[in-house]
Structure 1
Amino acid sequence: MPAARVSSAVMTHPVRRAQAEEMCVRLGLGGIALDPAPDDDPSALRTALVAWSRTGDGATHHLMIQDDVAAPVDLLDLVAGCADRFPGEALAYYTNWHARNGAAARLAALAGAGWVRAVPEEFTPTLAICLPVAMAAEFRRYAERSADRHDDEVMAAFLRSRGPGGTGGAAALLAVPTVTEHIGTSSINGHAAQGVRRAVCPAESADARPALLSGWVLEELGWLPYMRYGEGFVRLPGQDAGPDARNHFTWREALGHTELTEAEVVKVMRRERGEDAAAAVADLYGASFADELWIHCLLLGRQAAAAARRYAPEPVVPDPAGRRLRAAAVSTVGLAGLPPERRPEVTQAHTDLLSAYAWSAVRSGDRMPAGDPLPRG
């Protein structure tokens, strides 16, 4: 039995109170945290501050979870086990499939890791997040001074403030297998325009437990390929440290920071991409998307293989659970890369097509000649 004692609260708005109360009963959570000013302008932070104040007597850690989440009945036990393993860390149990952090988690899944360090310049996913109680109190004091309404942005700023030059600490650790899932597309806080938002690597608790409780942690990403709105980008190494922290660099613009060239990337695509699959994807979503998705997945496979070579404690030989996690991560990459307005029309057959197409590129990236694209730390 885990030694950590985890209290919990579900942040909610009165319009979703019944949904939040049902979640509390089903998961054995501590109770709901209602928006204290539901008729004012929407503010996730306002409600989050209530949720973070509901730490239980004797608790070592506190889980804050939002009301539009599906989660397994053993969530609290799993969170307590992870808190035992990482007692001083902020632990996030959900990552959006279309964010930079989602790309980091997908890369980590392919590399065989159980956790990955979040990129510090992006919002910290707070759909389901656990903090040590002392850190939760520190966050409340920090956030009460903020005029921002987005708790995920304030959480990221708070964690950055505790990093080098602060009082110690780092960006959150992201769970690679995602046992929590976002449900619905509505957003009280104004995120509905992002469309369907799902977990990057959806997993059953049985598959997630070994990875979360004993899997290795990917701390260093190097350059990170990600997609948004049908176009491939690359996060540069150390991008958070400069004025371009939130800028988006296309993969072509960023190749100068890698060991690859555009000519090499295009040559591999022309040689190894299946013409029929490319035509099928292009027929559905356009030739540009077909090219961008394949190249993104090629770079993803390249970096995942490099990360496994450099950082995995032993050669990665996925067991059945590991193979399912890798498949789950790749199954979301095509959907996540589409513009939000196109995601609702994707059928299961289209998902299968996009997954197979993505896998062909990931495997091509894995087979690319070994280089040294990651910094040696």
Structure 2
Amino acid sequence: MTAGRISSAVMTHPVRRAQAEGLVARLGLGGLALDPDPDGPPSALRTALVAWAAAAPGASHHLVVQDDVSGPDDLLGLVGHAVGRFPDEALVFYTNWHARNGAASRLAALAGASWVRAVPDEFTPSLSICLRVEVAADFLEFARESTQRHDDELLTGFFRTRGRMSLLAVPNVVEHVGTSSINGHATQGIRLAVCPMDAADAEQLLRHGWVLEDVGWLPYMRYGEGYVRLVGQENDPDDGRGHHRWRDALPEIGLAEERVRQTVADRMPADLASDVARLFGARFAEELWIHCLMLGRQAAVAARRYAPDADVGPMAAAAGVRLREAAVSTIGPAGLPPERRPEAGPEQKRLMTEFAWSAIRCGELLLDR
């Protein structure tokens, strides 16, 4: 399968037309999908329907990109290789650093995977997504009568009806640009890729890396606090998308709070904790460390249970090291409340990354012996 069978479109609004045209020219994309009612109420779905309907005759797959991203010059080539490997999957090439799917991507990176199955109880990251043209047509039929204005939410509903969520590319070569939002997401603050990578590394990983299909229970952070996504919670008719604080979730995931607290007391580095607390508060420092401790535990479980023994080669192995570093580098900034993320400059990020690693490396201490 070659990139030549992939058509593409860039979703945009007239206020961003010049930005979108620059993206089309820079990346060799197919053209613009303009909001058909730019003076109407904000609706990403309205423009997404135009974009998904723009698949070119003869194309096997269609890539839709939003206008507020950057990407490598060979984005279409990289997407083409991924489509050749997974022709029947919905492939996502950007995942938000602060979302549950972002946490799944971090867990996958730490476990050694290059792809991860999206969780079914959260929006589908839609800044850069590729579908088979037949699936795109099915989505159009599914979406046409919807009153939903968020295409990312409706994509999740669509995939759930098909019984198979999208595949997230763990290394992200597409990056979000800016903090403005036509669709009302500006309150979420700085929104960046969870595992930013250059195209050369990403290509090695996406070609040769394995797929993590099941992350198990999933630790994630939200507005400075730690949470756990429970296995199967999407099936709860009353609280399928609820947020469960990590303390409240412990009985469900089989961990004793005493064990977690003892690990914190024994292993959390006091000097780093003090530095993070001085910048962002003692509560955030503890929540971040416990979140990373639980993340390290789940990554160790996934690696033991699912990681193949096959040798991926030295180039992919080296890229995998850099992927893990990229994944951990975003934990701290993404875990902060949106209004505080701008305070995380290079030195603050370095500090939080070192602090995060100190917890991740202790994750195996929470495993049953």
Task: Provide the TM-score with structure 2 as the length reference.
Answer: 0.97
Give the 3-state SS of the residue equivalent to 1:208 in structure 2. helix
**Which letter maps to 1:327?**
E
Distance 2:309 2:181 in 1: 42
Q: CA deviation at 1:320?
A: 2.1
Q: Supply the RMSD in Å over aligned alpha carbons.
A: 1.4
Aligned equivalent of 1:16: 16
Distance 1:266 1:315, change over 3 A: farther
Aligned equivalent of 1:64: 64
Distance 2:367 2:304 in 1: 9
The equivalences for 1:42-191 within 5 A come to 42-163=42-163, 170-191=164-185
Q: CA deviation at 1:370?
A: 3.9
**Which letter maps to 2:169?**
A
1:288-308 deviation digits (Å, cap 9, x = unpaired)? 000000000000000001000
Preserved contact between residue 115 and residue 217 of structure 1 (Cα < 8 Å): yes
Gaps of 5+ in 1: 164-169, 373-377
**Which letter maps to 1:55?**
A
1:8-36 deviation digits (Å, cap 9, x = unpaired)? 00000001001100110110000011001
Distance 1:3 1:285, change over 3 A: closer
1:229-273 deviation digits (Å, cap 9, x = unpaired)? 010000001111112211100111111122321110111111111
Distance 2:261 2:174 in 1: 37
**Which letter maps to 2:280?**
Y
Distance 1:226 1:316, change over 3 A: farther
Preserved contact between residue 8 and residue 30 of structure 1 (Cα < 8 Å): yes
Distance 1:258 1:249 in 2: 12
Preserved contact between residue 7 and residue 63 of structure 2 (Cα < 8 Å): yes
Aligned equivalent of 1:375: none
1:149-194 deviation digits (Å, cap 9, x = unpaired)? 000001111111111xxxxxx0100000000000100000000000
Distance 1:369 1:14, change over 3 A: closer
**Which letter maps to 1:349?**
E
Preserved contact between residue 269 and residue 295 of structure 1 (Cα < 8 Å): yes
Q: CA deviation at 1:57?
A: 1.5
Q: CA deviation at 1:145?
A: 1.2
Identity, % of aligned positions = 62
1:331 pairs with 329, 332, 336, which one? 329
1:368 pairs with 342, 346, 365, which one? 365
Give the 3-state SS of the residue equivalent to 2:244 in structure 1. coil
2:254 pairs with 253, 259, 263, which one? 259
Aligned equivalent of 1:306: 301
1:36-79 deviation digits (Å, cap 9, x = unpaired)? 10000110000000000110121000000000001001110111
Preserved contact between residue 309 and residue 315 of structure 1 (Cα < 8 Å): no
Aligned equivalent of 2:196: 202
Preserved contact between residue 3 and residue 79 of structure 2 (Cα < 8 Å): no
Distance 1:194 1:370 in 2: 34
Aligned equivalent of 1:349: 347
**Which letter maps to 2:140?**
R
Aligned equivalent of 1:296: 291
Distance 1:274 1:211 in 2: 33
2:267 pairs with 261, 267, 272, which one? 272
Q: CA deviation at 1:314?
A: 1.6
1:218 pairs with 212, 216, 219, which one? 212
Distance 2:293 2:45 in 1: 38
**Which letter maps to 2:84?**
D
Distance 2:367 2:218 in 1: 17
Distance 1:306 1:4, change over 3 A: farther
**Which letter maps to 1:364?**
C
Distance 1:75 1:343 in 2: 28
